[in-house]
Amino acid sequence: MRSAKNLFNHDKPVLSLFFLTALFCCLLVTGCGYRFRGAGVPRGVSLDTIAIPIFPSASSFAGYEADFTRILREQFIAHSRVRIVTKENAQAVLSGKINSIITDPLTYSVTKQTIHGFDSTDAVTSSRKMRVRVEAKLTDKDTGTIIWQDASLTGEASFSVSSDPLRTRYDQRRAFIAIAQDLAARIYSKTMERF
C-alpha cells in the first residue's frame, strides 16, 4: 500500500487536472456575474412594455411627425421583444419632439442670358441639404425618473430639386425618411443599451 506522500508525488498531474476541472465547474455554476442576453432584450432590469406617443413637430413641414413616430415604432417592433403599448399600460415612455427641419441649398446651376440688352444671371438650386434636430427622452412611468435624454439628436441628408414640384416634394420626403431611420436606430440603441 502506498503512503499518502507517495500518492501525491506520483499522481500530481491527475490531481492538478482534477482541481482545475473542479475550479472550472465552480466558475460555471456561479457565473461570475456575467449574463448573456438575446438580441432585443434589455440588460439588467426588465423592460417589457414601452409607450411611444407621437413626436410633435415645431417645423412647418406638415405630416413629418407621423412619419417619424411610425419609423421609430417600427424600429422597436423589428428589433426588440419590448411591446409597444399605451401610456397607461407602459413601464416606460419614450417621448420627444422634432425641434427643427431645415433645408439649405447645396448645389446650383447657373444660367446667363441677355434680355433686351441686359445681362441676366439666374442661379437655380439643383439639390438641397435637409437637417433635422430631434429631442427625445425615456421616462420611468411609475417614478417619473428620466432614464436618458438627449436634446440634440441631429441627422442630415441631401435631395434633388426638380422643375416638377411634386418630384421635389417626393425626394424631400425620402430624405426625411432616411434621416428618421438613422435617428430611430440611434434612439433605439440609447434606449436598449441603458438596461
At residue 26, the pLDDT reads 43
At residue 118, the pLDDT reads 87
Q: Which CATH number describes the domain made up of 36-108+127-192?
A: 3.30.160.150
Instruction: Specify burial of residue 63 (Cβ count, 10 A radius: 0-12, 13-18, 19+).
Output: exposed
Q: Does residue 42 or residue 187 have the better pLDDT?
A: 187
Say how far apart CA 90 and CA 72 lie, in whole Å. Answer: 16
At residue 183, the pLDDT reads 98
pLDDT tens figures, 62-117: 889 999 999 999 999 999 999 999 999 999 999 999 999 999 999 877 778 888 88
pLDDT tens figures, 30-47: 433 323 344 444 445 578
Count of Cβ atoms closer than 10 Å to residue 195 Cβ: 16
Global model pTM greater than 0.85: no
At residue 46, the pLDDT reads 76
Q: How confident is the model at residue 23 (pLDDT cuts 50, 70, 90)?
A: very low
At residue 114, the pLDDT reads 81
What percentage of the chain's residues is helix, strand, coil (to nearest 5)? Answer: 40, 35, 25
Q: How confident is the model at residue 28 (pLDDT cuts 50, 70, 90)?
A: very low
Name the H helices within 96-164: none
pLDDT tens figures, 133-163: 999 999 999 999 999 999 999 999 999 999 9
Name the H helices within the chain: 4-10, 12-30, 64-79, 165-192
Q: How confident is the model at residue 190 (pLDDT cuts 50, 70, 90)?
A: very high
